Amino acid sequence: GHVGGQFWSVYIPADAPRAVEMTLEEIDIVRRFVAANPATFQLATTAADIRRIEKAGRIASLIGVEGGHQIDGRLSVLRQYRALGVAYMTLTHGKSLNWADSSTDAPRANGLSDFGRQVVAEMNRIGMIVDVSHVSDATMAAALVATKAPVIASHSSARAIADAPRNIPDDLLRAIGANGGVVMVNFYPSFLSAEWRAWDVARSAYAKSIGVPANVYGAKSPAPLVAWDAAHPEPQVTAATVADHVEHIAKIAGHDHVGIGGDFDGIQGTGPIGLKGVDGYPLLFAELARRGWSDGDLAKLSGSNVLRVMERVEAVAKGMAGMPPVDATDVGSR
């Protein structure tokens, strides 16, 4: 797939106990894995690191914490994650917090609370990228107002094409473009295709009715689901489907504001045909080239847009270097 850099997602379920402890365990796993394979991987915390590591023929490895519940309402924890090399944090995952709302849960903060705005401000100060995937529309809009630096949506697609709450509507795509941020297209078929999403809803309902897990696909599915799949063929999602989302985001936000966020560790073994792993990336780039994308725009999509965001986040942090740490907590916010 010609991968030169990637984010390693450090994720703990939003309702799991000991979130900070388990997050530290996962950060340690990433760091040890990278250190054990120095010929292939090297830890990166800055845009300059990524360029240097890629030039040396290795894969730049960045860490992302995928949910604000993982700081347990403590900005001190946020700061320590950054010290350990965490490049971004997603403000929420699948559950709303006292200080920020999830797109897949009832609101509690109605955007961002005062503490939520302090989280964003402290992320700006320490040079951690604000990730707005998973958050509600109101929280996304509030984060864009609060931040002094560009944001990313690390794994989200276009709601105008596939009406999923995890996807981003056009008004917020425009706002992310105006902010200088990047929307990184997710490859989960449910976020790419309305037809696939409807098929999966029906499949999940059947699985629930017979008491088997629904989040297993293909040959590893429980036998009743294999039979159901045979009777209800899975709608095809292809590189062209992904390209439709890429092009829509580029049209609404601009070519400088779209990237790739495949979410391979979170899409449960599914994925577009030929794009179930990074080895399929050339299919997507070939499809976009057929549609007239220039080498320059493909380079932006492949990584230079995200590098630009990182450089701007670093510059904002440098400008805030004289500011003291924010001393605030919202303990019990999970």
Q: Is residue 281 part of a domain?
A: no
Q: Is residue 298 part of a domain?
A: no
Q: Is the pLDDT of residue 199 over 80?
A: yes
Instruction: State the pTM of this model.
Output: 0.95
Q: Is residue 226 part of a domain?
A: no
Gap between the Cα atoms of 65 and 82, Å rounded: 10
Q: Is residue 151 part of a domain?
A: yes
Give pLDDT, residue 270: 86
Q: How many domains does the chain have?
A: 1
Q: Is residue 230 part of a domain?
A: no
Q: Is residue 200 part of a domain?
A: no
DSSP letter for 68, please. G
Gap between the Cα atoms of 110 and 311, Å rounded: 31
Q: Is residue 94 part of a domain?
A: yes
Gap between the Cα atoms of 152 and 143, Å rounded: 11
pLDDT average, residue stretch 173-193 = 98
CATH code: domain of residue 33: 3.20.20.140
**Of 267 and 189, which is predicted with more confidence?**
189
Q: Is the pLDDT of residue 1 over 70?
A: no
3-state SS class at 248: helix
3-state SS class at 113: coil
Give pLDDT, residue 188: 95
Q: Which residue has the tokens 């847009």?
A: 305
DSSP letter for 102, please. B
Q: Which residues contact 73 (CB under 8 A, 6 or more apart)?
A: 98, 99, 115, 329, 330, 331, 332, 333, 334
Q: What is the dihedral angle through the alpha carbons of 222, 265, 186, 305, rounded to the nearest 10 degrees? A: -170
**Of 113 and 277, which is predicted with more confidence?**
113
Range(s) of the domain holding residue 170: 5-185+257-264+307-319
* pLDDT tens-digit series, residues 13-28: 999 999 999 999 999 9
Per-chain mean pLDDT for the chain: 96
Give pLDDT, residue 152: 99
* pLDDT tens-digit series, residues 132-164: 999 999 999 999 999 999 999 999 999 999 999
Q: Is residue 124 part of a domain?
A: yes
